[in-house]
Amino acid sequence: MRLSRYFLPVLKETPAEAQIVSHRYMLRAGMIKQASAGIYSWLPMGFKVLRKIEDIIHEEQIRAGHIPLLMPTIQSADLWRESGRYDDYGQEMLRITDRHDRDLLFSPTAEELITDIFRSHVGSYKDLPLTLYQIQWKFRDEIRPRFGVMRGREFYMKDGYNFDLTKEAALHAYNRHLVSYLRTYERMGLQAIPMRADSGPIGGDDTHEFLVLAETGESEVFYDSAITDLKFGDRQIDYDSVEQCQAVLEEFTSRYARTDETHDEALFNEIPEDRRRVARGIEVGQIFYFGTKYSEPMGATVVDADGNRVPVHMGSHGIGVSRLLGAIIEASHDDKGIIWPEGVTPFHCGLVNLKQGDEAADTACQAIYASLTAIGLEPLYDDTAERAGAKFATMDLIGLPWRITVGPRGLKNGVVELTSRRTGASEELPPEHAIARIAAIYGKASA
C-alpha cells in the first residue's frame, strides 16, 4: 500500500475524551472513529488489525477441532424466554420490536440460539463431541461504555459452545479451549494469564478468565509471580488427548492467580512473600463449563448408548476480539505510539522515502516495494512529500515493527536503513539484505 493512496486519517492532537493510552493511540492513528457512545466505525487500519486477530483465532479454533458457523445478531425473544434469560438479562439487553410487534433483541451472547440449532439437528451420542463457534458482533447496553473498544456497547466477540455426553467429556472440551486460548494470545504477542473466576450465583461450575496485565485494566488481580514465567511456546499438542490437555491446564492453573471476585487472602498469604503480586488486568477471554443449565430447560438431549434420552453437557467460551486491539496496545507501546507485535501488525513494515522525487530514491523504493510484495509481504510505502521528521513520527505512531528508510545519501554507498520499532536500533545494509531480514522475520522465503 502506498500512503498517498491509503486512508489513514492520523490526528495531530491528542483527543481529550480518551483516558487511556490504547484509546488515544487508536484515535490518533486513525484506526477507529466513534459513531455514538460505545459504538465505533473501524477505519481501514483498525479493520486490518481486527481481521488479523480474527484470522489467528480462526486458525487456532480450527486446529483444536472446533467448527465455525455464523448466527444472526438479531434474535427472537421467544428463545430467550425458554431459558428464562429474557427477563433476567435486564437493562444490558437491547430490545427491539418489529413492525408486527414481535419482540426481538440484539444478541449479547448466543447460548439460546446455538442450543436451538443443536436440538433441531442432533439426536444421538454418536454425533458428539461437538464444538461450534462464531465470531460475530454483540451488543450490550453497558451503563458506562468507556476506554474505546475496551468496553464498548457494540463489540466483536468469538463465542464457542461445546456439546458433550458427559461431564468428563465437557471438561476435556474446557481444557481444549484453555490450550487453544494460550496459543491464540501468545501468537498475538500477549501473555494472558488464566485466573480462576466467579461462576456467579449458582456456583460449582468451572470457569477461568484470561487476563492481560496492564495498569489500566478494570480488574484487580492477585497472583504468584512464578506464573509469568510460564510459556506455551511452539510445543505440539494432540487436542484429542485428554491427558495432554489436562496436563497443560494443571501447569497453567496450579499457581495462585485470581481476580478480586474470587480472591482468598488466606491462600494468597501461603505464597512466599516476594512472589505475591497485586496488580490490574484486562479480561480478554473466559471459558465456562455450566453442565445442563441450558440443555435441560431447552430440551437439548441425545440418546445415549443404552437408549436413554439425556441432556447434553455444555460450556461456552469467549474471546473479546475487538477488546484485544486495546489490550495489545496497552501491553505494547511507548511514548511515541503503538508497537505492534509481528503477529498482528497491519503492515509488515514501513518503507520511508526520505526524498520523494529524487530519481535514485524513488527507483530504489519501487524496487524494494516490488520485492517485498513478491514474497507475500505487505509494506506501507510512505511516498508522500512530507518532511522526514513527520514521516518518522507517523511511522512511530502507527507502530509497524520494522521500517526501511531510503535516502539519496545512503544509496550512494549502496545502503538503506533497517530500524526496529521496539528497540529503536538502526542498521545500514544493502537493500537486498534488508529485504532478506524482513522475509526471515516473517518466515517467508526471500526471492
Ligand X SMILES: Nc1ncnc2c1ncn2[C@@H]1O[C@H](COP(=O)(O)OP(=O)(O)O)[C@@H](O)[C@H]1O
Binding site for Mg ion (CB under 5 A): 286
- How far apart, in whole angstroms, are the C-alpha atoms of residue 3 and residue 5? 5
In 3D space, the residue among 65, 15, 20 whose CA is nearest the CA of residue 237 turns out to be 65
Comparing every residue's Cβ against ligand X, the nearest one is 320
Give the 3-state secondary structure of residue 428.
strand
- Report the alpha-carbon distance of residue 48 to residue 44 in Å, rounded: 6
- Provide the minimum distance between the beta carbon of 90 and ligand X in the complex, in angstroms, as a whole number: 13
Closer Cβ to ligand X, 216 or 446, answer by number = 216
Cα–Cα distance between 175 and 172 in angstroms, integer?
Answer: 5
Q: Which residue is nearest to Mg ion (CB)?
A: 286
Q: Closer to Mg ion by CB, 286 or 345: give it.
A: 286
Residue type, 335: D
* Partner in contact with 337, chosen from Mg ion, ligand X, none, beta carbon below 5 to 8 Å by kind: none
Q: Which is nearer to ligand X, 128 or 135 (CB)?
A: 135
Which residue, 207 or 419, is less far from Mg ion as judged by CB? Answer: 207
Residue 142, binding choice from Mg ion, ligand X, none, Cβ under 5 to 8 Å by partner class = ligand X
115 binds, among Mg ion, ligand X, none (CB under 5 to 8 A by kind): none
Shortest separation between residue 286's beta carbon and ligand X, angstroms: 4
Q: Which is nearer to ligand X, 284 or 331 (CB)?
A: 284
Least distance CB 249 / ligand X (angstroms): 18
If contact means CB under 5 to 8 A according to the sort of partner, which of Mg ion, ligand X, none does residue 140 touch? ligand X
H-assigned helices in 223-358 = 242-253, 265-268, 295-298, 321-331
Q: Least Å distance between CB 323 and ligand X? A: 4
Query: What is the pairing mode between strands 154-164 and 313-320?
Result: antiparallel
Q: Are strands 337-338 and 379-382 parallel, antiparallel or unpaired?
A: unpaired
**How many Å apart are CA 319 and CA 58, to the nearest integer?**
11
From ligand X, Mg ion, none, which one binds at residue 157 (CB under 5 to 8 Å depending on kind)?
ligand X
285, interface contact from Mg ion, ligand X, none, CB < 5-8 Å by kind: ligand X
Please, which residue, 114 or 130, has the CB nearer to Mg ion? 114
Look-up of cell digits 506455551:
232
Q: What is the CA radius of gyration of the chain?
A: 24
Q: Choosing among Mg ion, ligand X, none, which partner's interface includes residue 320 (Cβ < 5 to 8 Å by kind)?
A: ligand X
| Nearest approach, Cβ of residue 207 and Mg ion (Å) | 8
Collapsed DSSP state (helix, strand, coil) of residue 324:
helix
Query: CB-based burial of residue 163 (10 Å sphere; 0-12 exposed, 13-18 middle, 19+ buried)?
Result: buried
Q: Which of Mg ion, ligand X, none lies near 207, with the C-beta cut-off 5 to 8 A by kind?
A: none
**Whether the Cβ atoms of residue 159 and residue 175 lie closer than 8 Å to each other:** no
The type of residue at 278 is V
Provide the minimum distance between the beta carbon of 326 and ligand X in the complex, in angstroms, as a whole number.
Answer: 8
Length of the chain: 447
- Taking the C-alpha atoms of residue 52 and residue 343, their distance in angstroms, rounded to an integer, is 8
- Please give the Cα distance from 105 to 92 (Å, whole number): 11
Give the binding site for ligand X (CB under 6 A): 109, 140, 142, 151-152, 155, 157, 283-286, 318, 320, 322-323
Least distance from C-beta 312 to Mg ion, angstroms? 22
Give the nearest distance from C-beta 212 to Mg ion in angstroms. Answer: 13
